[in-house]
Amino acid sequence: MKHHSLAQIGVSTEAEALAARAEVEVQEGKLADHHDGQKDYFVERNGLRYAGSHLIIDLWQAEHLDDITTIELTLRRAIKAADATLLHLHLHEFSPNGGISGVAVLAESHISIHTWPERGYAAIDVFMCGAAQPHKVVPILKHAFNARTVTIGEQMRGAF
- Is the full-model pTM beyond 0.95? no
**Of residues 160 and 12, more confidently modeled:** 160
Domain boundaries, the chain: 5-26+52-155
Query: What is the pLDDT averaged over residues 87-105?
Result: 95
Q: Would the pLDDT of 57 be above 90? A: yes
d(CA 56, CA 12): 17
**Of residues 41 and 19, more confidently modeled:** 41
d(CA 93, CA 68): 7
Angle between helices 137-144 and 14-24 (to 10 degrees): 160
d(CA 132, CA 127): 10
Per-residue model confidence as pLDDT tens digits over 99-145: 999 999 999 999 999 999 999 999 999 999 988 999 999 999 999 99
Q: Would the pLDDT of 8 be above 60? A: no
Q: Would the pLDDT of 13 be above 50? A: no
Catalytic site positions: 109, 114, 129
d(CA 149, CA 134): 19
CATH number of 5-26+52-155: 3.60.90.10
C-alpha neighbours within 13 Å on the C-beta side of residue 133: 17
pLDDT band at 64 (very low <50, low <70, confident <90, very high): very high
- SS3 assignment, position 156: strand
